[in-house]
Amino acid sequence: MAAFMLLTGVVLGAFAAHGLESKLSAEKLASFEVGVRYQMYHGIALLALAALLPHRDQGVQICYRFISWGVLLFSGSIYILALSELFMPNLGKYLWPVTPLGGVLLILAWGLLCWHQLKPNKSIES
């Protein structure tokens, strides 16, 4: 998942820089770039989590899932909302709640990871 996020983040960043610059308003292009930035940050975070924390731990698995879904909803909805200027300008009034939901999942993932790492018994399964 981390590699996929990073791969698609690079592709989407290049697409924004070279393919969307003349097609989107400055505001929509900036939003698109925020989506790419969050996707890249969290792709790196997933890579670090995979390398540093036990994969079989249920708490860590939940963090992975929350981050993955959070990025999909947060960044994905930002991409769609930014591009909707080109093909469906009214889409924002239907899709806007998805972005904060993704952000909440990201916040929950990091909060859960903090709690999980601070508690004395690090295994949720026991």
pLDDT at 122: 53
Cα 53 to Cα 20: distance, rounded to the nearest angstrom: 38
- For residue 124, is pLDDT > 50? no
Residue range 70-105, pLDDT digits in tens? 999 999 999 999 998 888 878 877 888 899 999 999
DSSP symbol at 6: H
- For residue 53, is pLDDT > 90? no
pLDDT at 26: 92
- Cα angle vertex 66, ends 65, 68, to 5°? 65
State phi, psi for 123 to the nearest 5 degrees. -95, 120
- For residue 111, is pLDDT > 90? yes
Cα 14 to Cα 107: distance, rounded to the nearest angstrom: 27
Give the model's confidence band at 15: pLDDT under 50 very low, under 70 low, under 90 confident, else very high. very high
Cα separation values, 97 from 14, 39, 43, 102, 103, Å: 27, 18, 23, 9, 10
pLDDT at 56: 72
Give the model's confidence band at 108: pLDDT under 50 very low, under 70 low, under 90 confident, else very high. very high
Give the model's confidence band at 118: pLDDT under 50 very low, under 70 low, under 90 confident, else very high. confident
82 with 24: CB under 8 angstroms? yes
pLDDT at 57: 78
